[in-house]
Structure 1
Amino acid sequence: MNTLLPRPNVLSSLSGSYELAVGATVSGPAELADAVRRALPVLDLRPGDTGAIDVRMDPALGEEAYRLVVGSRGVEITAGGRAGAFYAGQSLHQLLPDATYRSAVTTDAWTVPGVRVEDSPSHSWRGLHLDVARHFLPKREVLRVIDLMGAHKLNRLHLHLVDDQGWRVESRAYPRLHEVASHRARTATNYFREEPTYDGIPHGGYYTLDDLAEIAAYARAREVVIVPEIDVPGHASAILAAYPELGATGESFEVLDRWGISPAILSPLPPTVDFLTAVFDELLGALGATPYVHIGGDECVLDDWEASAEITAYRRSLGLADVGELHGWFLRRLADVLAERGSRAVVWDEAFVAGGLRKDTMVMPWRGMGVGRRAAAAGHSVIATPVFPLYFDYAEASSTQEPMAIGDAITVTDVASFEPAPSSWEPEERERVVGLQAQLWSERIPDARVLDYRAWPRACALAEVAWAGEAGSDFMGRLERHLGRLDALGVEYRPLSGPRPWQQGRPHRPAVVPVMNAMEHLDEMTHSATSTRPSV
């Protein structure tokens, strides 16, 4: 029975068991009962006044907390809110056989062992990041990722919707964004030479606003919040391919067909703020209540701002000393726009280093928890996102059998050992770490099969740390048992023993950046004045 993942706070065996059948009834407040039903679709649960599953509300528990008791008389769930009921349903599902994770089953009933579970999360932000800009992921795959997140009690899906290599959402106010900026003519196929080679195949795609509304509604039903990212002012090649007049120079760009950092940057002048305000309004209109919007702020090459007489005059009119202060001012202005609409801005750590952020802006320290501590000490909420060990575009092993990756290696054990709020920090700094999030940058993730391989089972370790606060000593044993559920769900994860033959990388795979070398370089850069970096 000790197979729940993530690990609950309290789990104890009780005498007796209960026969839970397909078509059983669930009773209790409709919102909570519906949440349990969504967590257990295989049971085809029916609402009723009394039922095999009885759900009750206790707000004192907290929105995501729950108690689950299974005995000879049935199943009792006490939840602090809809999310708690959904998570109780997920834990109950894990007490059933692996076969119940399949889309169709041949058994009509299962014996559930007697158990008591008392549970609540350690962190409110338990996130997964999808880069759909570099390689587009069709809507059906995004919905599938949401299902997998719900099954693991992950609750923030960060969608990276725009980068140099593509814009991925419809805009009715600025239609050239999806007509022009959503596709590129070709894609670089080599990663380790100065002169790239290309595949000659167009790549693209975008979500309509109706798609985005559907994704958001689907996510809400599974207690997942969509966090859209419009990464500005850098990473702007695709935007400027559609609307070059929004750039710092007005020059024409093409949607970038290679990887790395582009010098393309938006102008910080008022027309750009007006443009982004219109885009935010479209996003918020489609997504509905959106508590967070990520505005990027990373990897900005500010040379064109420095060289522009118009931008320099504007900066001076604002009383700002240099383009670094202008960078911070621009992001604060966007955060103000979002705050007026009830949303909170999230940024990468370069934006914090630039300074001038609103105090309620949340910071993702991808370059390491050293800069994360500085952000926490300055009063910002921090979401732990360091390259090591939360960049899942790095390989799981230093082996030529692994598919091509940006670097190696970040293992399941590395993720399970991560401490989001280090014990060496001051208590008030630790309290400002609201959670953690793994990143799936997609330069080397061209499709959903590779995404599965990169994400799982490392995301299982992420879920364990995010929910329980740390991985239990029995985590690897529970993970091996949990892989049977992933098999039933059809997840093409990386086996713990290494890739299957068809998952292996190309022969004679070139050496890539060791992750610790990359981290040393990034740590040096967080203590420098610049907000740009070479690709690592």
Structure 2
Amino acid sequence: MTYNTFLNLFKQFMLLFTIIIVSVSCDRSTEKKPFSGDITILPSPKEISETSSQVFLLAQSEMYSSNADVKPLLEIFQEEIHDLTGVNLEISEEKNKNTDVLFEIDTKLAKEEYHVNIHKIIEITGGSYQALAMARTTLLQLATTQDGLLGFPMLTIKDYPDASYRGLMIDLARGWHPMASIKKFIKMASFYKSNYVHLHFTDYQSYTLPSYKYSKLSTPERSYSFEELEELEAYSQARGVTIIPEIDIPGHSSPLVEKYPEIFAIKDVKENPWIINMGNEETYEAIEVLISELMTVFKASPYFHIGGDEAIFYKVTDDPTVKAYMKKHQLGDDVHELYRHFIVRLNEIVKKHDKQMCVWEGFRREGNIEIPKDIIVFEFETNRYLPNHLVEDGYTVVNTSWKPLYVVNQKKWEPKTIYNWNMWRWENWFAKAPSIVPIQLKETPLVIGAQMCSWEQQDKLEIPSLRKRLPALNERIWNTTKKVSYDAFMKYLKVTDKQLSVLINDSRQDSLLLGYNFKKEKN
């Protein structure tokens, strides 16, 4: 081989080598670095395999999903990552060499199961849109920045909840809450992987819902329009949260009685203006209209809540219409049989709209008319039907134990008390309640989850009082067997709470938190 031939071959080799190097470097849009920080994810994931490295996305990195339905979630994640880190992560219309974050639905996974694989790139798979929405909050909690670059620890996660129902209830009827605040509650619920936000729309104080046919029901300056509710439904669904609407009947119903007495009032309305007339056919027709109107908005919810608690039956059976109705339906003269009949009829109305009916604990175990087992009972004070009896009798139950899951101004409990509770336990602070001595059930699939309930609070109190209590509940129902110690949980919460402050633009805290546990009312 001559020298010139060798030189030409060498030049060709170097050119090829340069092309390969440039090509490889152009495909590389992530960078690996050492990692020695803490992993702070709430609720704690079921399975996690960590490494001592982290991956950083470079300026050209993009995210992508082959499923067009996932695009709204990518846009939300893009906005949230920017809020948290200041980094702009672009969305790609097609998969390419810069696609470093992938969100994909894998129907082989369970509906609420998701997997996170972070190595050279970030791959997120979930059994549904909702699962991907929960995976995104895990990514938000993992996100770091260094020199203006967005980074994530290299790890693998397989995660899913133990409880299928993880709820937050907000009382919108007693204290006015603007739509902007409700969106904050949904953001917070989504961030900590609650899948339901239950909105208590009606009570004695106001009727906050719109109606086309019964427009007088809407309380002036304290009600929402159909357009606002439709926007809220879309907002919550995009974040993997389902809204459960509630119209509280037959009790807690004075706005209905006041505005349409010809339909809803009993004869002695001045002595009992709080209950609707369960013996008037027009009452059932009107309720069906109200439910139908709402179902055009809250299409995603599998549930509709009718309240059903604390009905005041005084003078009900003195009404001539009620007497005739009870005679026609062979209900005898016990008002509780009329009430049970009412629940059965409402269940049929709700089922006509392909929803499952939910009720607060309100009906008794004893009674001639059988309450159907296809309803869900939200058991809270244990005064009428004990939770162990509900389970023995085959009812599906959501645990809404007064203690420690209620947040009612100063009636609330610290995160440690909530963390030491479990999904099959009911307690109460009221001395005459059966659960003043805690009622502990054995584990049963009939208890499908739990819900934190905020009652009677002004809007300004909601975020401070819920932001460190809701995560404690969700940790204990996502993982019904404790995954981490309380001290570790609080360490993680300190980190995630700072992130929440940024995401909802609200850093207000509760002055009654650590060490505060309500005991009893002062005389």
Provide the residue aligned with 1:410 in structure 2.
413
SS at match of 1:52: strand
2:170 aligned with 1:130:
yes
Query: Are 1:488 and 2:508 counterparts?
Result: no
Would you say 1:120 and 2:157 are equivalent positions? no
- Counterpart of 1:342 (choices 354, 359, 366) is 354
Q: 2:477 aligns with which of 455, 466, 470?
A: 466
Which of 415, 420, 424 lines up with 2:423 in the alignment? Answer: 420
Aligned to 2:407, the other structure's residue is in SS state coil
Runs of 5+ in structure 1 lacking a partner?
101-105, 184-203, 255-261, 395-404, 505-513, 519-535
Q: Distance in 1 between matches of 2:190 and 2:406?
A: 21
> In the superposition, relative to structure 1, how do residues 352 and 124 fare at CA in structure 2: closer, same or farther (>3 Å)?
farther
Q: Secondary structure at the match of 1:162?
A: coil
- In the TM superposition, 1:132-211 aligns within 5 A as 132-178=172-218, 182-183=219-220, 204-211=221-228
Q: In the alignment, is the contact (CA less than 8 A) between 1:234 and 1:263 conserved in 2?
A: no
Q: Where does 1:241-320 land on structure 2 (aligned, <5 Å)? A: 241-250=258-267, 264-268=274-278, 269-320=280-331
Report the 3-state secondary structure (helix = DSSP H, G, I; strand = E; otherwise coil) of the residue aligned with 1:165: coil
Q: Which amino acid aligns with 1:425?
A: L
> What is the distance in 2 between the residues matched to 1:515 and 1:323?
35
The equivalent residue for 1:385 is 400
1:371 aligns with 2:363: no
Which of 118, 123, 139 does residue 92 from structure 1 map onto? 139
1:437 to 451, 454, 461: 451
Q: Which residue of 2 aligns with 1:69?
A: 117
Structure 1 residues 107 and 147: CA distance shift in structure 2, 3 A: farther
Q: Does 1:19 align with 2:56?
A: yes
Whether the 8 Å CA contact 2:263–2:282 is kept in 1: the answer is yes
Structure 1 residue matching 2:449: 3-state secondary structure: strand
Q: 1:32 to 1:113 in 2, by over 3 A?
A: same
Q: Cα offset for 1:210?
A: 1.4
Confirm or deny that 1:53 pairs with 2:101: yes
Asked if the contact 1:244/1:251 (under 8 Å) is kept, the reply is no
* Deviation at residue 33 of structure 1 after TM alignment: 5.5
Query: Any conservation in 2 of the 1:125–1:436 contact (CA below 8 Å)?
Result: yes
**2:86 pairs with 1:38:** no
User: What is the alpha-carbon distance in structure 1 between the residues aligned to residue 260 and residue 72 of structure 2?
Assistant: 45
Q: Tell me the CA shift for residue 318 of structure 1.
A: 1.1
Amino acid of the structure 2 residue aligned with 1:358: P
What amino acid is the match of 2:125? T
Asked if 2 retains the 8 angstrom alpha-carbon contact of 1:248 and 1:304, the reply is no
Q: TM-score, normalised by structure 2?
A: 0.80
Partner of 2:296, secondary structure, is: helix
CA–CA separation in structure 2 for the residues paired with 1:176 and 1:308 = 25
When residues 440 and 253 of structure 1 are mapped into structure 2, their CA distance, relative to the original with a 3 A threshold, is farther
- Counterparts of 2:512 and 2:329, CA distance in 1: 58
Counterpart amino acid of residue 392 in structure 2: A
The Cα of 1:373 is off from its aligned counterpart by 2.4
Whether the aligned pair in 1 keeps the contact of 2:194 and 2:474 (CA below 8 Å) is yes
Cα pair distance change 1:495/1:440, threshold 3 Å:
closer
* Structure 2 equivalent of residue 220 of structure 1: 237
- Asked whether the 8 Å contact 2:172–2:201 carries over to 1, the reply is yes
Contact 2:360 2:380 in 1 (8 A): yes
Secondary structure of 1:128's aligned partner: strand
* DSSP 3-state at the match of 2:277: coil
Kindly state the Cα deviation for residue 465 of structure 1 after the two structures are TM-superposed: 1.7
Of stretches 307-316 and 289-298 in structure 1, the one that deviates more from structure 2 is 307-316
Residues 193-238 of structure 1, C-alpha deviations (whole Å, 9 max, x = no match):
xxxxxxxxxxx41111111111111111111111110000111111
**In the superposition, relative to structure 1, how do residues 364 and 516 fare at CA in structure 2: closer, same or farther (>3 Å)?**
farther
Distance 2:356 2:311 in 1: 22
Q: 1:320: how far off? A: 1.6
Q: Check the 8 A contact 1:158/1:229 in 2, yes or no.
A: yes
Rg: which structure is higher? 2
8 Å Cα contact 1:163/1:237 also seen in 2: yes
Deviation track 1:457-509 (CA, whole Å, cap 9, x = no partner) reads 1011122123222552121221122222133233344358859xxxx9xxxxx
SS state of the match for residue 300, structure 1? coil
1:246 Cα deviation from its structure 2 partner: 2.8
Q: How many Å separate the matches in 2 of 1:3 and 1:364?
A: 32
Three-state SS of the structure 1 residue aligned to 2:297 is: helix
Output the CA distance in 1 between the equivalents of 2:387 and 2:420.
18
Provide TM-score, normalisation by structure 1: 0.78
The residue number in structure 2 matching 1:401 is none
Q: What CA distance in whole angstroms lies between the structure 2 residues aligned with 1:515 and 1:313?
A: 47
What's the secondary structure of 1:278's corresponding residue?
A: helix
2:23 — aligned with what? none
Alpha-carbon distance in 2 for matches of 1:177, 1:434: 34
Distance 2:318 2:495 in 1: 59
In structure 1, how many angstroms separate the alpha carbons of the residues matched to 2:499 and 2:318?
57
Letter in 1 for 2:91: R
User: Which segments of 5 or more consecutive residues in structure 2 lack a partner in the other structure?
Assistant: 1-37, 83-87, 426-438
Shift of 1:15: 4.5
The 10-residue stretch of structure 1 (24-33 or 166-175) with the greater mean CA deviation from structure 2: 24-33
SS of residue in 2 equivalent to 1:59: coil
Equivalence for 2:130: 83
Q: Which residue of 2 aligns with 1:529?
A: none
> 1:299 Cα deviation (Å)?
0.6
Note if contact 2:408-2:455 (Cα within 8 Å) is conserved in structure 1: yes
Aligned residues: 452
Deviation at residue 162 of structure 1 after TM alignment: 0.6
Distance 1:59 1:253 in 2: 57
2:376 paired residue number: 362
For the residues of structure 2 that align with 1:463 and 1:120, how far apart are their CA atoms? 12
Shift of 1:452: 1.1
Q: What letter corresponds to residue 95 of structure 2 in structure 1?
A: D
For residues 372 and 145 of structure 1, the distance between their equivalents in structure 2, rounded to whole angstroms, comes to: 29
Whole-angstrom distance in 1 between the partners of 2:288 and 2:269: 23
8 Å Cα contact 1:234-1:266 kept in structure 2: yes
Deviation of 1:293 (Å): 0.7
- Distance in 1, Cα, partners of 2:399 & 2:481: 14
CA shift at 1:352, angstroms?
A: 5.5
Aligned partners of 1:65, 1:496: CA distance in 2, in Å? 36
SS at match of 2:41: coil
Alignment check: 8 A CA contact 1:349 1:372 kept = no
The residue number in structure 2 matching 1:186 is: none
1: CA distance, partners of 2:207 / 2:470 = 26
- Whichever residue aligns with residue 378 of structure 1, its letter is D
CA RMSD of the aligned region, Å? 2.8
